[in-house]
Structure 1
Amino acid sequence: MSSRSRLGALALMCSLAAAHSLPGYAQGGASQCVAAGGWARLDGASPQAVDSTGLIAAMAQRAVVLLGEQHDDMDHHRWQLQTLAALHAQRPDMVIGFEMFPRRAQAVLDRWVAGELTEAEFLAQSEWGKVWSMPAELYLPLFHFARLNRIPMLALNIDASLTRSIAEKGWAGVPESQREGVGQAAAALPDYEDFLFEIHRQHAAARGHGGTRAGKAARDDPGFRNFVDSQLAWDRAMAEALVTGRQRHAAAGGALPLAVGIVGSGHVRFGHGIAHQLRDLGESSIGQLLPVGVDTPCRELTAGLADAVFGVPVARMPPPPPPRLGVALEEHERGVRIGEVTPGSLAERSGLKQADIITEVAGVAARRPSHLISAVRRQPAGTWLPLRLERGGETLELVLRFPPER
């Protein structure tokens, strides 16, 4: 399996971990188990409605509380903000950790909370467009809440280059000096490895090649073992940052603040990700909360998925428009790689070719496939979208010409 393939599997895991097809996010087909705007605890045979006041008071007494999300769902971020405010009212001594930022951005987060940066300066200096693929508008209310209340923000993540290295070489293949101080992760729990293997298997089946056996994934494939290493290092880094962040911001008398983690739901579900690594670090006082659609089948809300879930109304949105470009996209260390071009598509008519690496879209760096996808979807009919790309060692300029509406 190539480095790009492993990165694609990792990206697929991240998206699927927050998607509606996983436990806690499945769609349709069952009686309503969680009311819109209501909480249900998941410590029994079936979800049980619970009063928010008691739940939040109990969570505020934990050392760490993880708030999951589907990254592109604005209602999930609104719920996170509401829950943060409720926890802060109970326990003002708080720090907030964000998966969105790598550790190298910590000084910028400190300056933002201190009021030394404008919003534009904060996003530019933290390299938001490079480190996270989602629109900043989804997260800005959370950032402003921290700044308004002078709550320290923690950069939880590791740099994408380290994730790539581990995905390519495995944990043991990356020199200690390049691990950003991240320690050896606790081994994956069996159920977590099963979950990761299913993601890996789906990716291998979709590609039909890449070092797996006749397109079929195997648990002893080096690609899968490296994929697991990448995920564990990711979870471990965030767990360590939450622990050290609490220690760094301890009160004068030594009391440790509540640490709240804003992270993807895949790192929260069933306590297999960050919580497992926190326990290995000696921290067992952990709360885990997730937002779920109110149409989630009861059978999906199984004991242990989280301590409690919050019912989010299902947005009745029209289906997304069909793909406009006609390409298969892959992550690449220098941009977005074209894995396949559909015959007769806009991409083919515009001159895009397989293996092209798109580095800029309308003058903005293309770091992830979602950058290009978002730009294409936003582009009005009848307009042009300039691209910069690499092909065979050359840098080329190319323009996508979107046809007018009929």
Structure 2
Amino acid sequence: MRLAVVLLVVCMGCAGAIKPDTETAESIVRSQTAPRSVVDAASGRSIEPEAFFAILRTKTVVYVGERHDDPADHGVQYAILRQLHRDDASLAIGMEMFQTPFQDPLTKWSAGLIDETVLRRETEYDDRWGFDFSMYRPILEYARNRGIEVVALNTPREVVYAVAKDGLDSLSVEQASGLPELDLANEQHRALFDSEFDAGEHAAGDGVDRYYEAQVVWDETMGSRVAETLSRLDGPAKMIVFAGRVHVKRGLGIPDRAAMRGATPYAVVLPVTDKELKAELKRPPGERSADFFWALGR
């Protein structure tokens, strides 16, 4: 049986995803422009798109969560990217979809030195991520055509798998030395993890704890990459980060861990269905999953 880390990707990132019927996934992504409605989580009220984007412009990092196989979510990411880059050229894109050892081909991609076939081969995209590349193509082509830096955020798969299977102590010296400082004591983050992850048969013994360690390795690595990128002398002024929903919900995954390393202020945006929005608005403002909800109208 495949490791629960795979379940984290499939179950957490993609819960509620849909498949397009008549339109291609890529065309759905490219067609997204202005939001039908954006809800401010603090007030629970809709705000005008202009006001929404004005707030995002004040943030150093904007996190846009996704269901990995939902083209509508990627359309929201694409729309926000275009708006923010139009207003601030000093912008980098952080992507969970690429693992840190494969930064070099992403750098070459942004410089226009390689094509899509080479990018996918040299990042091992199809093996290591595997979701429909066409949903990310508009974002990546936008970056390439404008020379925007794309940052590989994700932990090497081998490390996450090893931690999920045998725990942190199982890592080699080389693997462990590549990890950032890990905060395993965040009770809110652990509660979010427990609520999102159905451990099933893996609940016996210390299985769930190992999977939580793997989740923290994941989030801390991505958070540290965001902070490192922004703190470089030649770094961008701002970043927009695309990652699975559970990595950004309530700011408890990547955002807070990046913020502890100096990547502030930030905002979290989640694309939501009508049903999801109703559920979010039933919660107290401090327990809502994002700062803003982009209503998908379905």
Q: 1:21 to 1:131 in 2, by over 3 A?
A: closer
Q: Which amino acid aligns with 2:109?
A: W
Query: TM-score normalized by structure 2?
Result: 0.86
* Cα shift at 1:299: 3.1
Asked if the contact 1:40–1:308 (Cα under 8 Å) also holds between the matched residues in 2, the reply is yes
Which of residues 252, 260, 265 in structure 2 aligns to 1:285?
265
Q: Which amino acid aligns with 1:246?
A: L
The whole-number CA distance in structure 1 between the counterparts of 2:233 and 2:36 is: 33
SS at match of 2:295: strand
Higher relative contact order by CA 8 Å / sep ≥ 6: 1 or 2?
2
Map 1:172-251 to 2 at 5 A: 172-179=169-176, 181-200=178-197, 202-204=198-200, 207=201, 212=204, 221-248=205-232, 250=234
Which of residues 312, 315, 320 in structure 1 aligns to 2:296?
312
The whole-number CA distance in structure 2 between the counterparts of 1:282 and 1:247 is: 8
Paired positions, count: 278
SS at match of 2:259: helix
Q: Are 2:142 and 1:142 aligned? A: no
CA deviations over 1:321-353 (Å, ceiling 9, x no partner): xxxxxxxxxxxxxxxxxxxxxxxxxxxxxxxxx
Asked if the contact 1:158–1:180 (Cα under 8 Å) also holds between the matched residues in 2, the reply is no
CA deviations over 1:28-71 (Å, ceiling 9, x no partner): xxxxxxx9621111013xx2101121221221221211111100
User: Could you tell me which residue of structure 2 aligns to residue 16 of structure 1?
Assistant: 11
Map 1:1-400 to 2 at 5 A: 7-8=3-4, 10-20=5-15, 37-44=36-43, 47-179=44-176, 181-200=178-197, 202-204=198-200, 207=201, 212=204, 221-248=205-232, 250=234, 256-301=236-281, 302=283, 303=285, 304-314=288-298
Q: Which amino acid aligns with 1:229?
A: E
* Cα shift at 1:223: 1.1
User: Could you tell me which residue of structure 1 aligns to residue 22 of structure 2?
Assistant: none
Q: 1:98 to 1:249 in 2, by over 3 A?
A: farther
SS at match of 1:116: coil
Q: 1:300 to 1:106 in 2, by over 3 A?
A: same
Asked if the contact 2:277–2:295 (Cα under 8 Å) also holds between the matched residues in 1, the reply is no
The whole-number CA distance in structure 1 between the counterparts of 2:196 and 2:274 is: 25
* Cα shift at 1:199: 4.7
Query: TM-score normalized by structure 1?
Result: 0.64
User: Could you tell me which residue of structure 2 aligns to residue 335 of structure 1?
Assistant: none
Q: Which amino acid aligns with 1:139?
A: Y
Give the root-mean-square deviation of aligned CA atoms: 2.3
Q: Which amino acid aligns with 1:294?
A: D
Residue ranges of structure 1 left out of the alignment (5+ in a row): 23-34, 213-220, 315-406
The whole-number CA distance in structure 1 between the counterparts of 2:233 and 2:10 is: 32
Q: 1:143 to 1:179 in 2, by over 3 A?
A: farther
* Cα shift at 1:130: 1.2
Q: Which amino acid aligns with 1:128?
A: Y
Q: 1:211 to 1:81 in 2, by over 3 A?
A: closer
Residue ranges of structure 2 left out of the alignment (5+ in a row): 18-33
SS at match of 1:165: helix
Aligned-residue identity in percent:
22
Asked if the contact 2:226–2:263 (Cα under 8 Å) also holds between the matched residues in 1, the reply is no
Q: 1:12 to 1:74 in 2, by over 3 A?
A: same
CA deviations over 1:222-257 (Å, ceiling 9, x no partner): 211111110001001101111112233636xxxx51
* Cα shift at 1:169: 2.5
The structure number with the bigger radius of gyration is 1
User: Could you tell me which residue of structure 2 aligns to residue 341 of structure 1?
Assistant: none
Q: Which amino acid aligns with 1:233?
A: V
